[in-house]
């Protein structure tokens, strides 16, 4: 069995904002013992011999892929070139590409029923002849899982489910994957494609999101605490500075009152608002 992920993004994706490179993801994939990857950028095929060689050195097969925009919907195509991507605009174009590719091309319905405009929704049913598999996307938690309809429809249509990470951040990669019973070469993987999804990612993914949420909350709290300490220190320094400068004025009855504080006026540079955190 080959451990695979057929839906990945990276910094080289011109229409995305990932903060990791393709090589960094390959490095993580090697550590997690992946065998096959497909970088599927938005409307763009990754054609970088350096990345291919980097993956090969680590025992990983890269399949050229793309998340193609078809009538404003996203479709995963594997074993596709940039020239072929540029010619696909409609589902009729996609159908012609698949007919020309034969067994050497693969079309996957990605996150088909997620409630976002670029997902297939009703167009999935109108193009049932196109799909070789249905994606089971990693983006779900307990109690909120838009893959359940995809799972039911795939079972009804006799289509395999493909577990993918759809990674847009490095932590997402490895939360979900597919096992394929084939030799480690592209045509064997695409031709056999007797797949099943490893379902051991449910609780793990929930823990990942929970851990990240706690880490972010802790980081925010630490930022606020540092800002609060800095504000108190500034107040202390200002009080000492006012005392040394004898900042006072005499009332008509001889009573002493401190002068009003004006940061930046005769006191050097300083914040305009003592209690501001930014």
Quick: pLDDT tens for 64-111.
999 999 999 999 999 999 999 999 999 999 999 999 998 889 999 999
At which residue do the structure tokens 């598999």 appear? 133
Alpha-carbon span 46 to 73, nearest angstrom = 20
- Structure confidence at residue 162 (pLDDT): 87
pLDDT over threshold 90, residue 263: no
Q: Under CATH, domain 2-200 is a member of which superfamily?
A: Metal-dependent hydrolases (3.20.20.140)
The string of pLDDT tens digits covering residues 220-240 is: 667 767 777 877 887 787 777
Q: Which residues contact 7 (CB under 8 A, 6 or more apart)?
A: 38, 40, 65, 67, 76, 108, 110, 135, 137, 162, 164, 165, 166, 167
Question: What is this structure's pTM?
Answer: 0.69
**Confidence check: pLDDT of 164 > 80:** yes
pLDDT at residue 237 in the model: 78
Q: Using 50, 70 and 90 to split pLDDT, how confident is the model at 250?
A: very low
Would you call 43 exposed, middle or buried from its count of C-beta atoms within 10 A (0-12, 13-18, 19+)? middle
């Amino acid at each position: 069995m080959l451990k695979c992920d057929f839906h990945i993004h990276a910094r080289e994706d011109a229409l995305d904002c990932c903060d990791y490179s393709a090589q960094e993801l390959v490095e993580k994939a090697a550590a997690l013992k992946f065998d096959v990857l497909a970088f599927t950028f938005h409307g763009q095929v990754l054609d970088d011999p350096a990345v291919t060689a980097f993956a090969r050195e680590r025992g990983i097969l890269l399949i050229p892929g793309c998340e193609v925009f078809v009538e404003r919907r996203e479709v995963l195509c594997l074993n596709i070139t940039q020239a072929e991507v540029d010619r696909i605009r409609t589902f009729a174009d996609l159908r012609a590409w698949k007919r020309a590719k034969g067994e050497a091309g693969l079309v996957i319905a990605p996150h088909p029923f997620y409630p976002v405009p670029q997902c297939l929704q009703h167009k999935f049913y109108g193009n049932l002849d196109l799909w070789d598999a249905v994606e089971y996307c990693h983006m779900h938690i307990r109690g909120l899982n838009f893959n359940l309809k995809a799972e039911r429809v795939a079972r009804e249509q006799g289509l395999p489910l493909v577990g993918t990470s759809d990674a847009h951040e490095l932590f997402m990669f490895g939360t979900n994957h597919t096992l394929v019973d084939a030799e480690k070469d592209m045509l064997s993987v695409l031709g056999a494609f007797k797949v099943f999804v490893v379902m051991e990612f449910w609780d793990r993914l929930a823990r990942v999101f929970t851990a990240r949420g706690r880490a972010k909350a802790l980081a925010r709290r630490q930022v606020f605490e540092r800002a609060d300490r800095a504000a108190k220190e500034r107040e202390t320094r200002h009080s000492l500075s006012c005392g040394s400068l004898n900042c006072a004025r005499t009332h008509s009855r001889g009573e002493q009152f401190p002068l009003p504080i004006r940061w930046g006026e005769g006191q050097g540079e300083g914040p305009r608002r003592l209690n501001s955190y930014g």
